[in-house]
Structure 1
Amino acid sequence: MVSEEGKKEGMRLGKYELGRTLGEGNFGKVKFARDIESGQGFAVKILEKKRILELKIDDQIKREIGTLKLLKHPNVVRLYEVIASKTKIYMILEYVTGGELFDRIAQRRWLPEDEGRKVFQQLIDAVSYCHNKGVFHRDLKPENVLVDAKGNIKISDFGLSALPQHFRVDGLLHTTCGSPNYVAPEVIANRGYDGATADLWSCGVILYVALTGSLPFDDNNMVVLYQKINKGRPRIPTSPPISADARNMIWRILDPNPKTRITIAEIKENEWFKQGYIPANPDDDEEDTRIDDEAFSIQEPTETDKEPNSPTLINAFQLIGMSSSLDLSGFFEKEDVSERKIRFTSNYSPKDLLEKIEDIVTRMGFRVLKRNGKLKVTQERKDVKSPGSLSVAAEVFELSPSLYVVELRKSYGDSSLYRQLCTKLSNDLGVCQSQQLLTTEA
């Protein structure tokens, strides 16, 4: 947390020195900042909490921070740190010097096919990475794609992004959002859509714009515009010249039927796409984003408001920041990234939860140690690295008066045994899948 003093231009913000204003919006400013120790430049998004509440965009800001926390890819704008005071949130972001892709295209009218393909390759690489992380952007357009000094793209502005907990029971997203010219027909239809195929449609529109300098679907009348989008397969101008393979790629992406639309996997196998393609290397092993607790809550409860030994109170913002999904299956990925922390929701009271967890794990042969409202579950062998050894901490957080989150953190031990333990606890104590998703839907 940072004090309210010394935040004018040229002043310090922790280890950062604030400089010139890069941009200004309805809810705050973006300033240039320099790390005093390393000299590295950053962009600092300064958000006024009061203004956020006035505009009722707190969910959008929370979603953006919670999403960016998950993403560490060369072609996605990186969130390094979130510093907060009682009145402001400071997002320390990667500083991208080349401006928007929109401006790059507008200045040159269009991009040569080789250059446009490179942009498209990086876009597909980044979007594929986001989807694998369970993140769906839902507002991809050239204005939300930045270009660095080397000509590489960086996807930004995840304020409308969706995470797995935003899906309804039918497995689809149902919020109509995005920019009209770039939105997929199934999003307009408002019958539910797959976030991955909808994002891919937007990528196809961006490719069309990059190679032609014009929009594939455009009209001042919104009804006519949506009719054009629903029809799909736009006319591609003869000037500038575009290869038949590039035209075919555009048409296969801008297929109005999401079930027959080309997939990202198929795009990556396409010969036109593969020309000069160099896959990016994500930075998932880098340290986690540092986020001040004060950034997670606009109205933090006072100590006198909390009951002794009551569970920690968290809100939806913190829950998004805590994980990429409330679905237990989403956490069984690489051990060093996801398995060490697993969470599920429950309607049992904290007291009942801790008692039931103790009873279940004891019957499974584990030892239990209670301390400060937390449980430590252990099963030891002579060599702690040998199969059968396990150490897990269990803690309960309050999401609402009738909904709680159980967090299981593995210190060390047998991964298969840990899976069994987590599955047993979530099955016996967790909210059923359909109720869980409905409870957390944005």
Structure 2
Amino acid sequence: MATKTKIYLILEYCKGGELFDKITKGKVSERVAWKYFYQLVNAVDFCHSRGIYHRDIKPENLLLDENDNLKVSDFGLSALAESKREDGLLHTACGTHAYVCPEIVNRQAYDGTKADIGKGQFKCPRGFPVEAKRLLCKMLDPNHETRITMSRIKESSWFRKGLHLKHKKQQAREINNPMEAGGSGESHEPPPQLASLNAFDIISLSSGFDLGGLFGDVYKKQESKFTSRKPASEIISKLEEVARGLKMKIRKQEAGLFKLEGAKEGRKGRLLIDAEIFEVAETFHLVEVKKCNGDTMEYRKLVEEDLRPALADIVWVWQGEKEEEELVLQG
């Protein structure tokens, strides 16, 4: 927010403080270290995908929230994609000396031992995972042409190892909680009791009463709605069929709410989508599709390229289509 004389920044409060303070108090377990690394890689990769380069990543600029989730802060030295030169590189030296890229400082002291980063040799603490050491050597390669890329980091054995353990824990939770493991499409239980819409709900769906514009384009990009003249059972069956086709997990909730989970890790973690069915009349329903987690661009691509074509059999009209048709006719 801003006035004529002041600018106000409203930021999330990170109760856990700096990662630097936590790691200086003592060693962290491999599991915790992997979690921070996983979140950091995804955060930096997300920034790069939007043409933003932080250039001052260090433990002091990595904050922790109350749930011990990593937050990247202090983008004061960031550069935009247009700052690159013809060779596709940023040539301005900046950042904190102890954390600058390896091509600027080819010889540094790591853990009290002089190391030649160019040869990928440095001493690690006792018990340091060999796979993690191998990955760090590739990340510290001073040659930017042979240095490991972000996509290859995600394919490395140590990164995949932690991801595998994460998935196993998720599967264990689903086994212990049958409600979460639902979605095989073979259940013969009666369809759930759907939430109904009253007259005021229907009026609020009118574009003239839509307040989404107050929150900008991002709000609109994170949800879609469509109406259907099909019975609820057919809509539910179609959602389950499409989810299986896209290799997404589907978890049934109460009152016609379905939670879809992407099969792969995206730029901001797994894509999580809520699909909720509302009953207007016995054979007239409204379905709201909304992103709950993951990358907005990946969500929009999934909706436009996969969900919309796959759901064509049950959709009467998607929200906004009639307005677009009217504009075309008027044009």
Using the size of structure 1 for normalisation, the TM-score is: 0.36
Q: Which has the higher contact order (CA 8 A, sep 6+)?
A: 1
